[in-house]
Amino acid sequence: MRRHAHPARAAWLVLAGLVVFMLVLAGCGGGDDDSDSTGGGGGEALQQLGKGEGQVNLISWAGYVEPGWSKPFEQKTGCKVNNKVAGTSDEMVKLMESGQYDGVSASGNATARLVAADEVSPVNVDLVPNYETVFADLKDQPYNTFDGEPYGIPHGRGANLLMWNDDDVSPPPTSWDVILDPKLAAQHSGKISVYDDPIYIADAAVYLKTHEPDLEIENPYQLNDEQFEAAVNLLKEQAPNVGEYWSEAEKQISAFANGDAQVGTTWQYQYFALLEEEEPVAASPASQGFLPKEGATGWSDTWMISNKAKHPNCMYEWMNWIIEPKVNAEVAEWFGEAPAQSLACDETENPDFCADYHADNPAFWKRVYYWETPLADCGDGSGDCKDYNEWIKAWTAIKG
């Protein structure tokens, strides 16, 4: 053995060896391609409800599965609830792909991906008695029904509002132009608060739909090259005026409370939290239908069942439980969104809750574009749209 080999040379040799090894590995990996990915719509819906399996594994948004209503569920059905909280729609899709979960509370920007990836089964709504009294405008929607079959149970919904500080912004804005028109936005430079997620590009598309009719934007989530570029450019112009991109509700609440933000896009949750702290915030009034004139983006969440579910009976029990009037009211009030169950409005602790959140006001929701997954085939195979990966890359470029 050569004990006195030059140490530097030896180190270089090791490094070179590692590089070669890695290149070989990278090159050879192509063999095991097990993607049968293009097939949409998977599995059969459950035909008959059997006995509970003793437990159920859920993926949910924070605040959707809380002891307040999961403990009574366990006592009633004998299904122990194992909950995994996910922070983003992307995370939910990844977790569902592991095949270890029975169901997920998916937003509209995850549902189509889950169906396309063949991870979820249609839901037999006859086995979910409470489904009947769910608000009609939440059923048969493009984000929860595919090929005419319901793929989930609506849970609740919310809209992304325009919120401003009454002391700093006057007159009260009636349009998103206050943060999206470059001239008007410059008046609040450094004090604009924007949701930090690629899906925000759709907000720009909603604005352009009204203000640039030549672009012919139909669905703000399915954008062709020209429409997408226009939306991205609008947001790039907005970026220098943005004080802060928020991703956690608490971050935005503190920004508005401390005067770091004057105007921006928000959820009902933050708006009511700030009102409760008696901050001088305002949102579009009833005379405007509670939304800026262009309408707004929003979300509508759906409980879906995995086609690999090991506890399908418990999952059906859960889907029925979560839209039980009393439970759905509890969840909605806890999280700060409109309940999906029409009977829930009689059960809320705050008697005005459903009115505040416009739960039973279809005219309000008509102007809300629920989050959808941007897909390359525009979702209906009609054309050539930008897929979600391009949205992510564009979002990085917008923030700079």
Partner 1 sequence: MAVEAAAPRRSAGRRLAGLFYGRPRLQVGTLLAGPVGWLVIGYIGSLIVLLVTAFWSVDALSGEVVQEFSLENFEALWNEPVYRDIVGRTVGVAAAVTVTDALLAFPIAFYMAKIASNRGKAILVVAILLPLWSSYLVKVLAWRTMLSDGGIINWALEPFGLNGPGYGIVAVWLVMSYLWLPYMILPIYAGLERIPDSLISASEDLGAHPFTTFRRVILPLAFPAVVAGSIFTFSLTLGDYITPRLVSSDQFIGNVIFNSIVNDQPFAAALALVPIVVMIAYLLVARKLGAFEHV
Instruction: Evaluate the omega torsion of the peptide bond into residue 220 and state whether it is cis, within 30 degrees of 0.
Output: no
**Rounded to an integer, what distance in angstroms lies between the CA atom of residue 140 and that of residue 128?**
15
Binding piece for partner 1, criterion CB under 8 A, among 43-51, 89-97, 206-214, 359-367: 89-97
Q: 351 or 400: whose CB is closer to partner 1? A: 400
Burial 116-150 (b: 16+ CB within 10 A, else e): bebbbbbbbbebbebbeebbeebbebebbbbeeeb
Question: Which listed range, 24-32, 119-127, 147-155, 290-298, lies at the site for partner 1 (CB under 8 A)?
Answer: 24-32
**Gap between the Cα atoms of 175 and 180, Å rounded:** 9
When asked if residue 16 is in the footprint of partner 1 (CB under 8 A), the reply is no
The answer to whether 363 contacts partner 1 (rule: CB under 8 A) is no
Is 39 or 351 the residue whose CB approaches partner 1 more closely? 39
CA distance 196 to 207: 17
Pick from 3, 9, 32, 352: which binds partner 1 (CB under 8 A)? 32
> Position of tokens 């070669």?
20
Q: Which of 10, 13, 20, 21 binds partner 1 (CB under 8 A)?
A: 21
The least CB distance from residue 49 to partner 1, in Å, is: 33
Task: Give yes or no for residue 116 binding partner 1 (CB under 8 A).
Answer: yes
Confirm or reject binding of residue 376 to partner 1 (CB under 8 A): yes
Member of 25, 51, 349, 384 binding partner 1 (CB under 8 A): 25
d(CA 105, CA 109): 12
What's the CA dihedral at 208, 160, 179, 189 to 10 degrees? -150
113 forms part of the interface with partner 1 (CB under 8 A): yes
User: CA–CA separation, 298 vs 160, rounded Å?
Assistant: 5
Restricted to residues 200-219, the positions that interact with partner 1 (CB under 8 A) are none
Site membership for partner 1, residue 388 (CB under 8 A): yes
Q: Assess contact for 300 and 107: CB atoms under 8 A.
A: yes
Residues of this chain that interact with partner 1 (CB under 8 A) are 18, 21-23, 25-27, 29-33, 35, 37-38, 88, 90-91, 93-94, 113, 116-117, 190, 196, 242-245, 247, 251, 254-255, 258-260, 376, 387-389, 392-393, 395-397, 399-400
